[in-house]
Amino acid sequence: RLFLIGLQQHGIGKWKAISERIGTKSRTQVVSHARKFFARQNAAPEKKKRRSIHDMVLEDMNIVIDRTNAVRGPQNVTARHPDR
Model-level pTM greater than 0.85? Answer: no
Q: What is the pLDDT of residue 8?
A: 86
| Tens-digit pLDDT profile for residues 17-63 | 999 988 888 999 999 988 888 887 777 666 666 666 555 655 544 44
Domain count for the chain? 1
Which whole number is the average pLDDT over 2-22?
87
Instruction: Find the DSSP H helices in 23-75.
Output: 27-42
- Which domain does 33 fall in, by range? 2-80
d(CA 60, CA 14): 21
d(CA 51, CA 1): 16
Kindly list the distances between the CA atom of residue 23 and the CA atoms of 11, 34, 47, 57, 61, in Å, as whole numbers in the listed order.
Answer: 17, 16, 32, 20, 20
